[in-house]
Amino acid sequence: MNSKKKFAALLLQWNEEENRREMPWKGEKNPYYIWLSEIILQQTRVEQGLPYFLRFKEKYPSVKHLALAKEDEVMRLWQGLGYYSRARNLHETAKNIQQNYKGIFPNTFDGLKKLRGVGDYTAAAIASFAFSEKKAVVDGNVIRVLSRVFGVETAFDITEGKKEFAQLAQEVLDEKNPAIYNQAIMDFGGTVCVPPNPKCEVCPLNKICVAKKEGTIDVLPYREKKTKIRNRYFNYLVIKNEKEIFIQKRTDSDIWKSLYELPLIETEKPLTKNLKNTLLKFLKTEDFKIESSSKEIIQLLSHQKIHFRFIHLVVKDIRALQIEKARLVKIKALAQLALPKTIHLFLFEKSLL
């Protein structure tokens, strides 16, 4: 048996034995639930995504329910999961399936790929799990396992590497059991061949694993591009009275689109000396006093470092204040709005939520 055939056989055997992770979406044939779980689990750990999957499934038991939901409600349910464009795409795609596909998911890889937010990986997962199409999934777990077992040193984040991994994944796919095989390799990458400290001693592939033999486990899979981190300074204004507070919705194509936030002054550097003047320009009035300014709070996103500062202002006549984009809302209505994590935490700590 060549090493590629052996690989699939050993993997399926591992899957058969005690190593299956029970998850509510395992063995699922309903493409809507598979799609939901796959979108939720992108860039998210299983433990974190699981409660969200259960909540979405309960609230929107069919694609029709999701299609008819209000955007704010979907965003609110997604709050805390991050990468909010996934939630917007999820909602848009549900509406598209309901309106243009009579509520029925396409049943092929190519058809699924036409849906917004559905890339190669998600299309392969749905096509193989729901319709047994012979299509290999390629995600971070799969790339890690393949690069180590077969000693592939091509960087996975360049065009050549993407092609090579896609081809290799397809070659080693067990065509008789595409659904079980795809699930097995993802589970294997998530539990045995993990990024640091893989469990090589108990690994059923350790006899054929090139990285183990050549001592290259720590450098594989190889990534070429370094991620550049952009620093952004978000100065949030807390302007409120007993009952109301200024809030705005993020509408630009940027992080947290469709979520709510406090009035924001974004700067490229920390706002320190120029604070008073910047506020004068922003508020177009002198009727304010700076009551306090919080310590800097940092939130790391995949390519961005957000420096938060919350500035409390006292304004004599809050109703006379006009802030472009922002509006006054009742403080008790804040709990209904989807908010970025750090703002949610801040408002919660100030007993405003």
Active site residues: 38
Please state the closest distance from residue 257 (CB atom) to ligand SF4, in A: 38
Q: Does 3 bind ligand SF4 (CB under 6 A)?
A: no
Count of beta carbons in the 10 Å neighbourhood of residue 348:
13
Q: Kindly state the tokens that stand for 211.
A: 């990285």
Q: How many helical (H) and strand (E) elements, i.e. helices and strands, does the chain have?
A: 14, 8
Q: Does 193 bind ligand SF4 (CB under 6 A)?
A: yes
Closer of 40 and 203 to ligand SF4 (Cβ): 203
Q: Does 8 bind ligand SF4 (CB under 6 A)?
A: no
Residue 314 bridge partners (DSSP): 289
Site residues for ligand SF4, 289-308, by CB under 6 A, read: none
Please state the closest distance from residue 18 (CB atom) to ligand SF4, in A: 16
Please state the closest distance from residue 134 (CB atom) to ligand SF4, in A: 23
Please state the closest distance from residue 201 (CB atom) to ligand SF4, in A: 8
Q: Identify the residue among 148, 240, 309, 344 touching ligand SF4 (CB under 6 A).
A: 148
Q: Does 186 bind ligand SF4 (CB under 6 A)?
A: no
Please state the closest distance from residue 171 (CB atom) to ligand SF4, in A: 17
Q: Identify the residue among 211, 255, 331, 334 touching ligand SF4 (CB under 6 A).
A: 211
Q: Identify the residue among 39, 87, 90, 217 touching ligand SF4 (CB under 6 A).
A: 217
Q: Does 149 bind ligand SF4 (CB under 6 A)?
A: yes
Contacts (Cβ under 8 Å, ≥6 apart) of 213: none
| Alpha carbon distances (Å) from 158 to 153, 161, 166 | 12, 5, 12
Q: What is the DSSP string of 70-138?
A: -HHHHHHHHTTS--THHHHHHHHHHHHHHHHSTT----SHHHHHTSTT--HHHHHHHHHHHH-------
Closer of 117 and 151 to ligand SF4 (Cβ): 151
Q: Identify the residue among 19, 62, 96, 206 touching ligand SF4 (CB under 6 A).
A: 206
| Short-list 171, 220, 290, 325, CA closest to 185 | 171
Are residues 249 and 334 in contact, defined by beta-carbon separation less than 8 angstroms? no
Residue matched to tokens 């259960």 = 54
Interacting residue ranges for ligand SF4, rule: CB under 6 A: 145, 148-149, 192-193, 198-200, 203, 205-206, 209, 211-212, 217
